[in-house]
Chain A
Amino acid sequence: MRITRRTMVAAAAASPIALAACGGESDDDGPVTLRVTVWSANEDHLALLNGIAEAYLADHPEVEAIEFDPLPFEGYTSTLTTQIAGDNAPDLAWILENSAPDFVTTGALVPLGDKLSSTDGYDVDDLVPAATELWRHDDELYAYPFSTSPFAMFVNNDLLAEAGQPTAAELAASGEWTWERAVEAGAAVRAQTGADGIVIRDFDYSGWDNLSTLWTGWGARPWSEDGTECGFAEPEMVEAMDFMHRSVFEHEAMPGPGTTADFFAGEAAMTVTQISRAGLLEDAAFAWDLVPLPAGPAGEYSVIGQAGIGVLAVAPHPEQAADFLAFMTGPENSQKLAQYFPPPRQSQLTAEVLGQANPLLSPEQLQTVVIDRIDEGVVKPSHTGQAQIDQAVRAALDPLWTADADVEGVLTEVCAAIDPFLAR
């Protein structure tokens, strides 16, 4: 068994069993096996990753094998944590954006800056600053955001036409593509076709961080830049949430709580989600379009969702792992990964590269929705202790989702619930 750092030394001292078991094999000699935890069990993803790993193994005799372990997406971080706690940490791990601060700011990950800048041809400067911001701490990069995907609006043109509404592209052309107008169109679809209007995908009245795709248009944010002040009770947020509330309960432009409407099955006129979902439209039986998020009162904006990969500080083979990470995310392999995951590299943010990954999207769509927006993108909210805050906000927001809710009152309660965590 390997003796890892800090936690496990302490745990070993604490636990007689662990203590008795320590001091077996040594990791210093012989080729090592690297283990990477991922949350995708998708065959194509794994084939791509294994292909990259094979290419690496061919030139690196010191690494014997690289295993990609798919853990269920539900409870991914929990399972990962259990493995770490049980002294079975992987070498590398995919990290969800909402747990990024927990990993990045706590010393759970190995700093990557030196390794990447010393790797031939890596070109660190090519990484888009807006994309790496979440994964930095004290000017040091701790994880590589291998997937940087803007949120956009998918539109079902057939449903809009059926409700006598102009398409989103037409609205955009005439400068009318705003939330106000989108909700109006959504309400019309609901009233005239029975299908749903707008679905903020994955929100489902619990994944509240997805609402940042809406409130950012009002200039609202859940907490201040430095993470200490609650932003839920600020006027911009109250206005944005009031708009959301009216859209659901007054205009019925968005499906209410406990209702499922799948845009990709043709059950809703519009949906806010990441562009990578375009693949689901391969067999779509309706005419669709992809447009940027509508403008809010604060103007045009964009929100990006991310996933990172990092080397754990308690990894059995941190050095080899960091070396593989540098190989895997270099320009050449980054272009391969771009098949499924929009890359954070300026040079690869072209309609051509992204087009290979998303053959269903036109170069114009990619240009307006992805490339033009990634620089200024606001990353979905995250904070140290995110899981706790996440839970507290969800619980405190629940009373908002009834027709007669007092929006401002509920939001004040949200702040009361999370203030203790923000103060930490």
Chain B
Amino acid sequence: MSRADAPTAETGRRTRRPGGGPRPRKGWTARRRDLLAGYLFVAPQLLGSVLFVLVPLALVFWYSFHEWNVLVGSFEFTGTANYERLAADPALPGVLAATATFSAGLVALNLSLALALAVLLNQKLRGTVVFRTLFFSPVAVTLVAWTIVWRFLLQDDGGVNGLLSAIGTDGPNWLRGETTAMIAVIVVQVLKNVGLNMVLFLAALQGVPHELYEASMLDGAGRWTRFRRITVPMISPTILLTSIITVVGSLQVFAQIDVLTGGGPGTSTTVLVYYLYQNAFQFHDFGYGATLSVLLFAIVLVLTVVQWQMRRKWVVHED
């Protein structure tokens, strides 16, 4: 990193001395130096991306055309056999359905809760700092610890049902029912990370100029109208950013599902990344695991491109 910026710094200094004034910098050389600076600035990140992202990704692509069983020690080129298997995999439709449910639920709950909390905490109110900290605190708890604790709390005789029975209702056996297990995994994941999105929204809300609200209040706009007409458009870039991060993140949730449900009951919470992990690391089938990785990558790519395209429609001020 320091290697990358050192020459740039020098460049900066050198242009100054002979030039003496601002004029020459507008010349061809200065511009070229500027461009060079651009490349040098992005070089560390770019090289890192190539080395730690693109090359491994290319290798995964390459593996997906092989039958690779680590234990057996086989590594054979099998052409598109893994992709044919993917198309015919009887478990895949269920896995994709679970993935869709999980991601949709997680994104919807996470974003709406984060926004709601941010709006609530953006009031002029004593103690918001305390609540802000409380809602953010799970982010600081180690993921493994958080999930293990919830696994206990969600048991049939665990803390959640203990609380529910204290207020007079009987809770379900959360992790043993297909629907409740899915709800549980989503909620536990949202609670863990919603604080980050909340803080981002809060920051965005505080950046909305107060005058806009005052003007609309003069127009007699109600609270909800103001929220819809002013707040949402004003923070739409943040909504875009958080939704991209959350969508991508939702497709990567693995450890939590592993600890909470192990993909069950049945296969109701076996999402794609978990299925991938099972095939590669539990069934030792790296070739098929790589093929599932390619599928996962394709899905994430499509979703992200779609969101990025949609930004022109509803994100109000982009560059």
Secondary structure call for the A interface: helix
**CB of A258 to closest CB in B, whole Å:** 4
Stretch in contact with the other chain, from B133-141, B226-234, B282-290: B282-290
Known A-B contacts A15-B59, A258-B174, A387-B284; the reply to A106 vs B71 at CB < 8 A is: yes
CA distance A258 to B174 in the complex (A): 8
**CB of B100 to closest CB in A, whole Å:** 19
B157 contacts chain A at the CB level, 8 A cutoff: yes
Would you list which residues of chain B between 117 and 144 have a CB under 8 Å from chain A? none
Task: Give the residue of B76, B154, B284 whose beta carbon is less than 8 angstroms from that of A81.
Answer: B284
B266 contacts chain A at the CB level, 8 A cutoff: yes
Contact B63 A391 (CB under 8 A): no
Contact A395 B73 (CB under 8 A): no
User: Which residues of chain B are near A106, meaning CB under 8 Å?
Assistant: 69, 71-73
Contact A260 B157 (CB under 8 A): yes
Contact A14 B281 (CB under 8 A): no
Contact A108 B71 (CB under 8 A): yes
**CB of A296 to closest CB in B, whole Å:** 27
User: Which residues of chain A are near B156, meaning CB under 8 Å?
Assistant: 256-259
Would you list which residues of chain B between 240 and 266 have a CB under 8 Å from chain A? 262-266
Closest to A421 in B: B283
CA distance A85 to B71 in the complex (A): 9
Known A-B contacts A85-B286, A258-B175, A399-B266; the reply to A107 vs B281 at CB < 8 A is: no
B173 contacts chain A at the CB level, 8 A cutoff: yes
CA distance A117 to B4 in the complex (A): 62
CA distance A363 to B61 in the complex (A): 60
Would you list which residues of chain A between 81 and 109 have a CB under 8 Å from chain B? 81-82, 84-85, 102-103, 106-108
CA distance A107 to B174 in the complex (A): 43
User: Which residues of chain B are near A395, meaning CB under 8 Å?
Assistant: 263-267
Q: Which of A77, A85, A107, A108 has the most CB of B within 10 A?
A: A85
Task: Give the residue of A81, A314, A385, A388 whose beta carbon is less than 8 angstroms from that of B281.
Answer: A81
Task: Give the residue of A14, A258, A388 whose beta carbon is less than 8 angstroms from that of B62.
Answer: A14
Contact B155 A258 (CB under 8 A): yes
Q: By the criterion of a CB under 8 Å from any partner CB, how many residues of chain A are at the interface?
A: 39
A205 contacts chain B at the CB level, 8 A cutoff: yes
Contact B283 A388 (CB under 8 A): yes
CA distance A81 to B71 in the complex (A): 7
Contact B71 A17 (CB under 8 A): no
Task: Give the residue of A7, A78, A257, A313 whose beta carbon is less than 8 angstroms from that of B282.
Answer: A78
**CB of B92 to closest CB in A, whole Å:** 14
Contact B73 A108 (CB under 8 A): yes
A161 contacts chain B at the CB level, 8 A cutoff: no
Would you list which residues of chain B between 47 and 77 have a CB under 8 Å from chain A? 55, 59, 62-63, 66, 68-76
**CB of B243 to closest CB in A, whole Å:** 32
Contact B75 A14 (CB under 8 A): yes
Closest to B59 in A: A15
Contact B264 A259 (CB under 8 A): no
User: Which residues of chain B are near A126, meaning CB under 8 Å?
Assistant: none
**CB of B64 to closest CB in A, whole Å:** 12
Would you list which residues of chain A between 3 and 41 have a CB under 8 Å from chain B? 5-7, 10-11, 14-15, 17
Known A-B contacts A7-B73, A398-B266; the reply to A77 vs B282 at CB < 8 A is: yes
Task: Give the residue of A6, A15, A396 whose beta carbon is less than 8 angstroms from that of B73.
Answer: A6
User: Which residues of chain A are near B59, meaning CB under 8 Å?
Assistant: 14-15, 17
A75 contacts chain B at the CB level, 8 A cutoff: yes
Per-residue interface assignment for chain A, residues 238 to 262, with 1 indicating a CB less than 8 Å from any chain B CB and 0 otherwise? 0000000000000000001111100
CA distance A103 to B155 in the complex (A): 35
Contact B176 A258 (CB under 8 A): yes
CA distance A75 to B267 in the complex (A): 19
Contact B73 A107 (CB under 8 A): yes
Closest to B70 in A: A85
CA distance A385 to B69 in the complex (A): 11
**CB of B278 to closest CB in A, whole Å:** 6
Q: Which of B73, B152, B263, B278 has the most CB of A within 10 A?
A: B73
User: Which residues of chain B are near A399, meaning CB under 8 Å?
Assistant: 265-266
CA distance A103 to B70 in the complex (A): 10
CA distance A5 to B70 in the complex (A): 11
User: Which residues of chain B are near A78, meaning CB under 8 Å?
Assistant: 277, 281-282
Contact A7 B63 (CB under 8 A): no
Contact A5 B73 (CB under 8 A): yes
User: Which residues of chain B are near A206, meaning CB under 8 Å?
Assistant: 262, 264
User: Which residues of chain A are near B73, meaning CB under 8 Å?
Assistant: 5-7, 106-108, 313-314
Contact B70 A394 (CB under 8 A): no
**CB of B280 to closest CB in A, whole Å:** 8
Closest to B174 in A: A258
User: Which residues of chain B are near A385, meaning CB under 8 Å?
Assistant: 283
A401 contacts chain B at the CB level, 8 A cutoff: yes
User: Which residues of chain B are near A259, meaning CB under 8 Å?
Assistant: 155-157
Would you list which residues of chain A between 245 and 300 have a CB under 8 Å from chain B? 256-260
11 other A-B residue contacts (CB within 8 Å) besides A257-B173, A395-B265, A395-B266: A5-B73, A7-B74, A11-B75, A81-B71, A84-B70, A84-B71, A85-B70, A107-B72, A260-B157, A391-B282, A401-B176
6 A-B residue pairings within 8 Å (CB atoms): A17-B55, A78-B277, A81-B70, A85-B70, A259-B157, A398-B266
